[in-house]
Structure 1
Amino acid sequence: MLTKKVYVAVAVVLGALSIQGADAEENTTKQDDDNQETEVIEVVGEGIDGNGVYLEKDASSATGMGLTLRETPQAISVVTRAQMDDFALQNINDVLQVTSGVNVEKVETDRTYYSARGFDITNFEYDGVGVPFVYGNTYGDIDVAIYDRIEVIRGANGLMSGTGNPSATVNFVRKRPTDDFHASIAAIAGSWDNQRVETDISGSLNEDGSIRGRFVGAYQNKDSYLNRYSVEKEIFYGVLEFDLSEDAILTVGHTSQDNKPNSPMWGALTLNYTDGTQVDYDVSRSTATDWSYWDGTINRTFAELVYNLGHDWELVTTISKRKDTINSALFYAYSAGGLNPDRSGLFAYSSLYGYKNEQLLADIALNGSFNLAGRSHQANFGVNWSRSEADDVSVYGQDIGTSLPSFDDWTGDYPRPGFGPYENGSDFTDELKSFYAAARWSLADELSLITGFRSTSMDSEGTSYGQPKEYNIDNEITPYAGVVYDVSDNLSLYGSYTKIFNPQREKNIHGDRLDPVDGVNYELGIKGEFFDDMLNVSFAVFDTEQNNIAEYAGTDTTTGQDYFIGVDGVSSQGYEFDVMGQVAKGLQLSGGFTHVDIEGANGEDVRTFTPRNTLRLSGSYTFPEFEALRLGMNVRWQDDIYRDQGVATTGVNAGQPFSVEQDSYAVVGLMAGYEISDNLSATFNVDNVTDEKYLTSLYWAQGYYGAPRNYTLTVRWGM
C-alpha cells in the first residue's frame, strides 16, 4: 500500500487543486492561448493520462528549434503517454524495448546498456537539454510515470547533446502543469505479486490561473520470475509553473526515486562449459545471494525561465541539479573459463559498494526567427555548462576466490563474508563547457537548410581505482548540416551530416580512459504525413565511420571493474522504416524495422552481440461501433546474435575457439482496454504470450533470461 508520506502529499495537492478546479475552468481558454505562445512542443493526445493517438508532431530535441518531425533531417521515434499506458510500460527499459531501432542490453538485473545503429547510446536529455553521463549505463529500475513522452533521435546529435555519438539521443519529456483541473489514480496488479499504484493531479492553484501545479506519485512492490529477486520503489514528482508577467514563465520542479532491490544479480549466469558447449538453465536461475541488495536514490531539481523577448524571440534559461547515491552489498559468481560438466567451477566475489554523484547544469538558449533576403528563417544559440562530481568505494569481501559448489545446488543461501580491510575506489570531477548555434535557412518555399555547430571543452581530474583521471579537451568543434526538400504537400526528402566526436568514459585494463571516438555520420531519408497529418511515415539510410570504439573486454577480478578496448575502423551502414500515428479510424500504430551492418577495418563482423535486423511494432484498435473497447498488440523481434567467448580447455574441442548464441526470437504482447464509464477504465495486458525463452543480452560474457509469460491488470480512474 502507499506509504504515509504519499497519502499526505496526495491529500495536500488534491485539496489545493480541487479548491481551484471550478475557477480554473473559467480561465481555460485564456490560459491555453497564453501557453501556446511559450510551449515549444505540441502534444497530440487526450487529457493527462493519454488514451490518445501514438503520435507526436513536434520535437525540439534534435535542433532546439521546435521543428516538426518532417522538418527535422533525422530519424525520430516517440513513445507517447498513450502507448505507455496501453501496454503497461512502467520503466525506461519497457519503453526503449518497444522503440524502433533501439536495443536494450540488460546485462544484470539492475544495470542496463542501450544501443542503436550498432553503437552504445550515451546521450540523454531532459526536456531537450543534454545532461552529463558519468558511465555508459543506467542503474536501477528508472520509472517513467513522471514523463509525458520519450523521444529517441537516431543518428549523431552533436548539436544538442555535446557529442556526435552516432547511435541515438534519448530525450525524457517531463509532464507539465495544466490550466484546468485533472486528477487520476491507477491501481495495478500483475504476475509475481506485482503491486503498483500511481496518481497524477494537475491544475491551477489560484483564481486567475497564474500559478499552476502538478504532482505525480507512484509506489511499486514486486517479486520476480528470477529466484529471490524483488524490487520496491517510490517515485515523487512535483512541479510548479508561475506566470511572472505576460512575457515570463518560471517553472520549478523536483523528482525523487528510491529503488530497493533485494537479491539482485551482479554479473549474471556463466553461459558455457569448459568444452565450449552452451549451458541451458531454467529461466528463473539467478546467481544472487539472499543477503545482497543494491539500493539507489535519484534526486533531480530543475528551474526553467522562459522569457518572451518579442518579435518571435525567446530566452530559455535552465538550471538543474542531480544527486545519485548507491548503497549495496553485492555478490558475483565468476568462472575461469566456464563450468565443469557437473556445473562446478564458479568462484565467489563479494563487495560492499557505495557511490555518489552530484551534477550541476546550466543552459541558456536564445531562439527565434529573423528575416533575410525577403524570407523568414529560424535560429538557436546557447551556452551550456555542467559539473559532475563522482566518488565511489568498493570494500572487498574476504571470500574472493572461494570455490562454490555445483550451481545445480545453488539456492542463494551463502554466508555473508566479512569485508575489508582492502578497499579501492574513485574520486573525480568532470567539467563540461560548450557553445552551440544553429539556423534553419528557408532557401525556397520547398527547400530548407539547417546548419550548426557545437564547441565543446572538457576537463577531468581525480583518480579512479588508483589511476589518475586527468582528461582535457579544448574547443572541439562538432559541425552539423541538414537539408529538407518538400517534394509535395505530404512528402519531404532530407539529408544530414554530423562529425563524430565522442569523449569516452570507458577505461582500459590499466585504468586509463580511452581516447575519444572520432568519425563521420551521414543520413538520407524520406518523410511523409498522411491522413490529415495524423500519420507519420519515414524511411532512412545511414552510413557511419568511427575509430576507437569502446568494446567490453572483461572484468578485472582484482578491482571488480569492467575494462574495454578501442576498436578502429568500425563502420555501420543500414536502413530504417518507421510508422507512427493513426493508420485508419481507430487504428494506431507505432514502430519500425531496422537493418544494420557493422564491420571492422578489414570487413570482419564486429559487435556481433548486436542484432542486424530488428522489428518493433505496437498497435491498438478502437471499434467504431463499440468505442468503449480497445484491443492491441506489440511485437519485439530480432535475428540471431552471438558472442565469441574464448577457447575451449577440455573435451574434443580443446584449443578451439567457441561462441555463445541466441537464436532469433519474437516477444508478443496483447492488450485489451475497456472504458467502464467516462471516468473509469480497465486494461489487461499479457506479455510474452508464447512464453518465448531467450537471453536478454550477449553484451557481456555472462547473461540471463527474459521474463516468461506474465499478466498485468490496470484499473484507472480519472477526471
Structure 2
Amino acid sequence: MASLLALSASGCLQAQQQVVEELQPIMVQEQEASEADSYQAQNSSAATKLNLAPKETPQSVSTITRARIDDFQLNSVNDVLENTTGVNVEEVETDRTYYTARGFDITNFQFDGVGVPFIYGSQAGDLDTALFERIEVLRGANGLMTGIGNPSATVNFVRKRPTAETEARVALTAGSWDMRRLDTDLSGALTESGNVRGRVVYANENKNSYLDRYGREKNVFLGVVEMDLTDTTLFTLGHSLQKSDADSPLWGALPTAYSDGSETDYSRSTNTSSDWAYWNNQENRTFAELTQQLGADWELKGVLTRAELKNDGRLFYMYGSPAPDTGLGLFSYPSLYEAKNTQHIADVYASGPFSLAGREHELVVGGSWSKSELQDLSHYGQGIGTALPPLEEWDGNYLMPSFDARVDGSEFTDKQKSAYSAARWSLMDDLKLITGARVIDVDNQGTSYGKSKSTQYNGKTVPYAGLTYDLSDDYTLYASYTEIFNPQTQLDQAGNRLEALQGENYEVGVKASLFESAELTLAMFQTKQDNLAELVGYNGGQAYYRALQGIESQGWEAELSGELLPGLQASAGYTFVDITDEQNQHARAYAPKHLLRSSATYRLPQLPKAKVGASYNWQSQTENASVEQDAYGLLNLMASYEIDPNWTVAANLNNVTDEKYWASLYWDQAYYGAPRNASMSVSWNY
C-alpha cells in the first residue's frame, strides 16, 4: 500500500505546496496547539489528488480526526467506521469484516491517497488505528482515483508522520474481559539541523471476550524516517507491521433461524468455534516516497509500496438448521487454511497551477501500476458432517481431526495499470469545474478452487466531473458525476465469471462553513448499476452468484462536524438510502434505509480540564433470508480529566443500555454484538 507525505517544518520547506495526502510538520504543530480537540473536517485529496478544502470537494467527505479516535477509544478501523456517516460495519465473523456504505460494499481502500488491492473485499484481522493521524471517508463512486469500485465509499488511511519538534506519548488502558492495551508514540528530529526526522509507533492489545473461549492479541508497529536531501527534495521511508493472533475465532457464526423458520435466541456469549481453533493474520507494508519541488509551485511525487499479507488458521465451522425443540441439526466442518498475498504498487504524479485565458487553474497528471499475487490452500479435516450437540450445550470440546480429507486452493495474479489526470478550472472567481479521467488496463490470471479467475480489460476509460459554485464565503453548491466500472471475480452456477459491474453515480448538494470552525454538508445522490453480483447459494461448498440488472439507489445525507459552541466538538450524520431492483422491489435488505452516526464532547466551562462526551449510533430495521432485526441504537459515554499538562485520565462506557443485537445480517449466519463494557486509561504526553 502507499503513503501520505509529511514535509518538515524547516524554513527551506515552508513554502512548498502540498497535495491532500501531505501533512507538513509545521501544520501538525499548529493543529496540536490549537485543534487538539477538533472534530472539524480537513482538506482531502481522496477524490481528485488536488488539495481541496471540504467545501471545494464535490462529494461527501468525512474526517475522523485523531481527537475523536482518542476520545472514544476507537482503537480499530471497525470502531472508526461504525461511527462514520453512511457506513455500516458488517462483522460477519470475529476476524473477518466487510464494509458497506449507501447500501453497497466498500472495495476501495487507500493509504495516504494511493489505492491498494482489496482481494476478497473484506478485512482479515483487526486493523489498528494506532498507525494513523486521521481516517477520511469519501462517499460515492471514486473512479478517478481508484479506477474501479462500487458507488459506496473510499476509505483513506492517513499515516502518522515525523514532526520537527520532539513529541512523545504513552497510554495504558484496561477494560472489560481482561482487556489490556499499551500505546507508545515517539517523534522528532534525528539530527541537530533537523534535516532528518523520525517517528516510531508501537501498540499492544491483549484481551479476552464476551464470547466463550475467544481471545486475541495484537502487536502493531510503525517506523517512518524522512530526509531533506536538498532544499527542494524530500525522501521518506517507512514500514508498518500488524500481527493479530486469535484463539477460538468464529469461522461462520450462529444460525439465525431454526429449521421451522423461527428466529433463534442464544446467549450473547455463544461461540461455535472449537477450543483448538486459531486464526492468525499479519500485514507488513513498506513504502518509499520521493517528492521534488519543480518550481512555479509545481511538485513531482513518486511512491513505491510493497505489502505482504499472510494468514493461517485452524478453523471450525458449523452448518445446518437446528430444530426448535431439540437444538439438533448442526454439523461440523473443520479446515486448515493458509494464504499469502504479495502486493507491489507504484504511483507517480505531478501537480501544480497553470494559467489559461487570464485565470489560474490546477492540474494533476500521473500514472499507477499494481501487481497482486495470491496463493491460498485449504486442507479439509476428516469428519466433515459429524452431528453436533445443541449450541446451548456446546463447550468447544471436539476432537481435533487430521486435515487430510482433501486439499484445494487458489493461485492467481491481478495486474492493473492506469493513467489519470484531473484539472480544476477556475471559470469564475466563485465557479470551479473539476474534470478528470482514468484509463485502465486490467489483467487477471489464475484459478481459485478449480475455477478460472482470468479476465482482461484494456483501455477502459472512467470519466469524472464536478462543479462547485460559491454562493458566498460560507456557502457552496456542488454537483458531481462519475462512471462505475468494477471487474468482478464472482462465478455463476455454471462456473462462468460475471461480467464487470458498470453504472453511473450522481451527487448534488450544498456545503457550508459555520462559526469558522464547523462544516455542514447536505447531499442528494443517485446510482444506477448493471451486473451487480448477488449470492444465490453454494455448490460443492463453493459460492455461486447471479448478476442483477437495473439496480438503482437514491437517497440523501446530512453531516455536521466541528466546534459548534465554545468547547463543544461534535460530528453527526444522517443517511437515507432506498435501493430497488429492476422489478422496483426493495433490494439489499441487510443494509438499513436509515442510519444515524453521532458523537460529541464538551469541555466544562467551570472545569476546563474536564471533558465529557457521548456517541449514539442508530439504524433502522434490517433483514436477511432468515431473520428480521428491529431498529436499534447504541449509546456510549466518555469522560476525561487533565491532571496536569502531561497526564490525563479517561473512562469509557459502551452500549450503556446493554442492547442485544445481531452484529450483521450480511450473511444468513450472524453473532451478537458486545454487551455493556467499560475501560479506563491513563496517558502521558510530552
TM-score of the two chains, using structure 2 as the length reference: 0.96
Q: Whole-Å Cα distance in 2 between the matches of residues 140 and 511 of structure 1?
A: 30
SS in 2 for 1:159: helix
Q: Which residue of 2 aligns with 1:98?
A: 83
Q: Which residue of 2 aligns with 1:579?
A: 560
Against the structure 1 CA distance between its residues 128 and 679, is the aligned structure 2 distance closer, same or farther, given a 3 Å change threshold?
A: same
Against the structure 1 CA distance between its residues 105 and 176, is the aligned structure 2 distance closer, same or farther, given a 3 Å change threshold?
A: same
Does residue 144 (structure 1) correspond to residue 129 (structure 2)? The answer is yes
Amino acid at match of 1:126: F
Any residues of structure 2 matched to 1:225-244 within 5 Å, and which?
Answer: 225-244=210-229
SS in 1 for 2:587: coil
Q: Which residue of 2 aligns with 1:486?
A: 470
The one of 166, 170, 174 aligned to 1:181: 166
Q: Whole-Å Cα distance in 2 between the matches of residues 445 and 602 of structure 1?
A: 46
Contact kept, 8 Å, 1:272 with 1:339, in 2: the verdict is: no
Q: Deviations over 1:541-581 (max 9, x none)?
A: 0010001112233445x34x444332111111000000111
Which is worse superposed, 31-40 or 111-120?
Answer: 31-40
The one of 102, 110, 115 aligned to 1:117: 102
- Let me know the Cα RMSD of the aligned residues: 1.7
Q: Which residue of 2 aligns with 1:417?
A: 401
Amino acid at match of 1:104: V
Q: Which residue of 2 aligns with 1:553?
A: 536
The one of 653, 662, 682 aligned to 1:686: 653
Q: How many Å apart are 1:624 and its aligned residue?
A: 2.5
Q: Which residue of 2 aligns with 1:273?
A: 258
Q: How many Å apart are 1:33 and its aligned residue?
A: 2.5
Q: Whole-Å Cα distance in 1 between the matches of residues 456 and 308 of structure 2?
A: 24
SS in 1 for 2:667: coil
Q: Whole-Å Cα distance in 2 between the matches of residues 36 and 442 of structure 1?
A: 18
Q: Which residue of 1 aligns with 2:44?
A: 59
Q: Which residue of 1 aligns with 2:461?
A: 477
Q: Whole-Å Cα distance in 2 between the matches of residues 668 and 111 of structure 1?
A: 25
Any residues of structure 2 matched to 1:236-635 within 5 Å, and which?
Answer: 236-335=221-320, 337-532=321-516, 534-556=517-539, 558-559=540-541, 561-635=542-616
Q: How many Å apart are 1:504 and its aligned residue?
A: 1.9
Q: Whole-Å Cα distance in 2 between the matches of residues 307 and 206 of structure 1?
A: 21
Which is worse superposed, 411-420 or 210-219?
Answer: 411-420
SS in 2 for 1:95: helix
Contact kept, 8 Å, 1:577 with 1:594, in 2: the verdict is: yes
Q: How many Å apart are 1:55 and its aligned residue?
A: 1.6
Which is worse superposed, 236-245 or 543-552?
Answer: 543-552
Q: Whole-Å Cα distance in 1 between the matches of residues 407 and 494 of structure 2?
A: 18
Amino acid at match of 1:601: E
Q: Whole-Å Cα distance in 1 between the matches of residues 482 and 38 of structure 2?
A: 32
Against the structure 1 CA distance between its residues 32 and 382, is the aligned structure 2 distance closer, same or farther, given a 3 Å change threshold?
A: closer
Return 5+ residue gaps in structure 1 as ranges: 1-26, 646-659
Contact kept, 8 Å, 1:248 with 1:305, in 2: the verdict is: yes
Q: Deviations over 1:376-413 (max 9, x none)?
A: 10011110000000010000011111111222211111
Does residue 662 (structure 1) correspond to residue 629 (structure 2)? The answer is yes
Q: Which residue of 2 aligns with 1:10?
A: none
Amino acid at match of 2:643: I
The one of 164, 167, 171 aligned to 2:152: 167
Against the structure 1 CA distance between its residues 365 and 462, is the aligned structure 2 distance closer, same or farther, given a 3 Å change threshold?
A: same
Q: Whole-Å Cα distance in 2 between the matches of residues 74 and 636 of structure 1?
A: 23
Against the structure 1 CA distance between its residues 38 and 416, is the aligned structure 2 distance closer, same or farther, given a 3 Å change threshold?
A: same
Contact kept, 8 Å, 2:19 with 2:51, in 1: the verdict is: no
Return 5+ residue gaps in structure 2 as ranges: 1-7
Q: Whole-Å Cα distance in 1 between the matches of residues 637 and 496 of structure 2?
A: 47
Q: Whole-Å Cα distance in 2 between the matches of residues 339 and 47 of structure 1?
A: 58
Amino acid at match of 1:272: A
Q: Deviations over 1:276-332 (max 9, x none)?
A: 111111111110111000011100000111111011110110000000111100010
Amino acid at match of 1:700: W
Q: Whole-Å Cα distance in 1 between the matches of residues 210 and 137 of structure 2?
A: 30
Aligned residues between the structures: 675
SS in 2 for 1:626: coil
Amino acid at match of 1:550: A
Q: How many Å apart are 1:623 and its aligned residue?
A: 1.6
Amino acid at match of 2:211: L
Q: How many Å apart are 1:40 and its aligned residue?
A: 5.1
Does residue 216 (structure 1) correspond to residue 169 (structure 2)? The answer is no
SS in 2 for 1:207: coil
Q: Whole-Å Cα distance in 1 between the matches of residues 154 and 491 of structure 2?
A: 22
Q: How many Å apart are 1:41 and its aligned residue?
A: 4.8
Q: Which residue of 2 aligns with 1:695?
A: 662
Against the structure 1 CA distance between its residues 32 and 635, is the aligned structure 2 distance closer, same or farther, given a 3 Å change threshold?
A: farther
Q: Whole-Å Cα distance in 1 between the matches of residues 231 and 553 of structure 2?
A: 49
Amino acid at match of 1:72: T
Q: How many Å apart are 1:57 and its aligned residue?
A: 2.3
Q: Which residue of 1 aligns with 2:5?
A: none
TM-score of the two chains, using structure 1 as the length reference: 0.92
Against the structure 1 CA distance between its residues 320 and 339, is the aligned structure 2 distance closer, same or farther, given a 3 Å change threshold?
A: farther
Q: Which residue of 1 aligns with 2:4?
A: none
Q: How many Å apart are 1:502 and its aligned residue?
A: 1.2
Q: Deviations over 1:359-384 (max 9, x none)?
A: 00000011111000111100111100
Contact kept, 8 Å, 2:266 with 2:392, in 1: the verdict is: no
Q: Which residue of 1 aligns with 2:112?
A: 127
Q: How many Å apart are 1:248 and its aligned residue?
A: 0.8
Contact kept, 8 Å, 2:302 with 2:349, in 1: the verdict is: yes
Percent of residue pairs bearing the same amino acid type: 48
